Amino acid sequence: MDGGTKRTFVMGDIHGAFAALQECLQLSGFDYEVDTLIQLGDVLDGKDQAFECVEELLKIKNLIAIKGNHDVWFMEFLETGRHPRHWRHGAVGTIISYLRHVQPPDIYFPKGDGFETTLAPHRIPAHHHQFFQEQRLYYIDDQKRLFVHAGFDTRTYFHGQDEENYYFDRSLWMDAMNGIDPDVYAPWGNQKTSFAEIYIGHTQTINWNSDQPMTVFNITNMDTGAGGKGRLSIMDIDSKEYWQSTLIPELYSQSMLRG
């Protein structure tokens, strides 16, 4: 890398895959002191290294962390002591990760169709609480590039929507995949909130048989399947060069063989 030159990167959904996070940062030559990382949310729920993922992201001086739906569910647990999805949808990996670091690892157990656990919110480190509290619903840079976890409702104005739309609504991407350009009909198309580029996660590109970032119109989907059988991806938003982890099943098979 060109020493001292600041670059800005965007990274898709991590889902607890710390080994993939490390690989992407190393392959891209990411500078923790100089470069900026915009991470699109869903840091946890998947592989059992959520704790490590948060710790690594907190080492980055210029981090812009976006709120994903899985992060919101974990934040609800931190605030209420109850998980809104009963620790399903990959969250068992999050339990295992935190129990490994804050309590003995053998005190979680299945019960009924959900999960009961002695993991208590107050046992989660304060700086992890703060990390999830400070995640943003979206980020718009000075070049009118939007970074958001899921998207938004394209049939209404961008600002002021229900918060859930930004981290849960797939309609932006699904409309794009159906050939609908949001700038053609959306009310915000000719307003000050019109975006030069949009970067999202949330909807895995492997649903379209691709483990690469996909761009349709001005929308780039960075969720290349780290929560499943795909990869984690990181992109330089100016050059559009991107780097990827090893396929997650292969990467974690290698990790088990090593450890």
Q: Output the domain CATH number for residue 48.
A: 3.60.21.10
Percent above pLDDT 90 for the chain? 72
Task: Please state, in angstroms and rounded to a whole number, the distance separating the CA atoms of residues 31 and 195.
Answer: 28
Position 109 in a domain? yes
Overall domain count for the chain: 1
pLDDT band, very low/low/confident/very high, at 187 (cuts 50, 70, 90): low
**pLDDT value, residue 1:** 43
C-alpha of 29 from chain center: 20
Instruction: Report which of 107, 110, 127 is spatially closest to residue 119, judged by C-alpha positions.
Output: 107
Cα separations in angstroms, 166 against 77, 161, 180, 220? 20, 8, 19, 15
For 189, the 3-state DSSP assignment is helix
Q: What angle do CA 83, 92, 88 make, to 5 degrees?
A: 55
pLDDT at 51 over 60: yes
In a domain, 1, yes or no: no
Query: Could you tell me the residue range of the domain that residue 91 belongs to?
Result: 8-251
What is the DSSP code (8-state) at residue 154? T
Report whether pLDDT(123) > 80. yes
To the nearest whole number, what is the mean pLDDT of the chain?
89
Q: Is residue 214 part of a domain?
A: yes
Buried b (16+ CB within 10 A) or exposed e, 38-63: bbbbbbbbbbbbbbbbbbbbeebeeb
Tell me what pLDDT residue 122 has: 84
Average pLDDT over residues 105-111: 50
**Does residue 211 fall inside a structural domain?**
yes
* Position 3 pLDDT exceeds 60: no
Please indicate, yes or no, if residue 2 is contained in any of the structural domains.
no
> Is 67 within the bounds of a domain?
yes
